[in-house]
């Protein structure tokens, strides 16, 4: 079966804007919280800084039902295969936010057992620095991700182009 080439052109801009508007205002996050950043993420979801204002209220702990993977906390060598498996289980379109210094670059822990940044192995879209980042920082990271999603085109998701 010949794969159709979807090329984004002048006729598809409105369609893309509509699709991106839908996707960016209704992320379904999946928190992969391991350590202290997990507790700050819980504070982001609680009453004072409320992530559901941005549409990201439906926290689903199952990777098959979510589209934003938030890695909050340090990832050790025993946990990395688990993270890779969860990432592969998520269906497209999917985005990854690395919350905190440990998920972005390994943080304070330069030891034998902590992965120095998950972007060595899985593609990351947004990095939120901080140890732990303030809840307002996470919200800004989400807003930057929304800007990124707003610029996507249909031809980005073409598997043939990647080869």
Partner 1 sequence: MPPATILSQVKEQFPETVLAGTEFAGEQILHVKGQHILTVLTALKADGYNFLADLTAIDNLTLGGFERFVVSYHLLCHQSAERLTVKAYIPEENPSMPSVESLWKTADWQEREVFDLYGIIFEGHPNLIRIMNPDDFDGYPLRKDYPRLGRKERDDFPVVDRGIQKKNRPQ
Partner 2 sequence: MTRAIEQPLETDKLVLNFGPQHPSTHGTLRIIMELEGETVTKATPEIGYLHSGFEKLGEDLDFNQYITITDRMNYLSPLCNNVAYALAAEKLIGLEVSQRTEYIRVLMCELSRIADHLLNVGMLAVDLGAMTAFLYGFRLREDIYDLFEIATGTRLTTSYTLVGGLMRDIPEDYDKAVIKVLDEVVEGVDEIETLLTKNRIWQDRTKNIGVISKEDAISYGISGPMARASGIDWDIRVNEQPYSSYGDFDFDVAIALNGDVFDRYLVRMEEICQSVKICRQALEKMPEGDVIVDPGLGYSLPPKDEVYNSIEGLIYHFEVTMPNRGMTPPVGEAYVPTESPNGELGFYIVSDGNRTPYRVRTRPPSFMNYSIFSKLIEGHMLSDAPAILGSINIIAGELDR
In the complex, the smallest distance separating the C-beta of residue 79 from partner 2, rounded to whole angstroms, is 5
Site string for partner 2, 112-131 (x = CB under 8 A): xxx----------------x
If one asks whether residue 108 binds partner 2 (CB under 8 A), the answer comes out as yes
Q: Please, which residue, 76 or 155, has the CB nearer to partner 2?
A: 76
Identify which of 79, 64, 122, 72 has the alpha carbon closest to the alpha carbon of residue 98: 72
The residue length of the chain stands at 163
* Interface contacts to partner 1, rule CB under 8 A: 77-78, 80-81, 84, 87-88, 92, 110-116, 120-123, 125, 148, 151-153, 155-159, 161-162
Burial profile 27-44: b = 16 or more Cβ within 10 angstroms, e = fewer = bebbbbbbbbbbebbeeb
Identify which of 23, 123, 100 has the alpha carbon closest to the alpha carbon of residue 66: 23
In the complex, the smallest distance separating the C-beta of residue 110 from partner 2, rounded to whole angstroms, is 8
In the complex, the smallest distance separating the C-beta of residue 157 from partner 1, rounded to whole angstroms, is 6
Which residue ranges make up the site for partner 2 (CB under 8 A)?
A: 32-36, 38-40, 42-43, 46-48, 61, 73-74, 76, 78-79, 82, 86, 108-109, 111-114, 131-132, 134
């Amino acid at each position: 079966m010949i794969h159709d080439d979807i090329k984004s052109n002048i006729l598809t801009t409105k369609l893309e804007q509509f699709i991106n508007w839908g996707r960016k205002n209704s992320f379904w996050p999946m928190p992969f919280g391991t350590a202290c950043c997990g507790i700050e993420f819980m504070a982001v979801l609680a009453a004072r800084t409320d992530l559901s204002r941005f549409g990201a209220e439906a926290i689903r702990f199952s990777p098959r039902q979510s589209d934003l993977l938030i890695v909050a906390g340090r990832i050790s060598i025993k946990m990395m295969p688990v993270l890779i498996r969860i990432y592969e289980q998520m269906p497209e379109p999917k985005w990854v936010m690395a919350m905190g210094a440990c998920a972005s670059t390994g943080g304070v822990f330069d030891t034998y057992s902590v992965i120095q940044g998950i972007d060595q192995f899985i593609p990351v879209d947004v990095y939120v620095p901080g140890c732990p980042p303030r809840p307002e920082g996470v919200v800004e990271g989400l807003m930057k991700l929304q800007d990124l999603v707003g610029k996507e085109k249909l031809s980005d998701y073409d598997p043939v182009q990647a080869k």
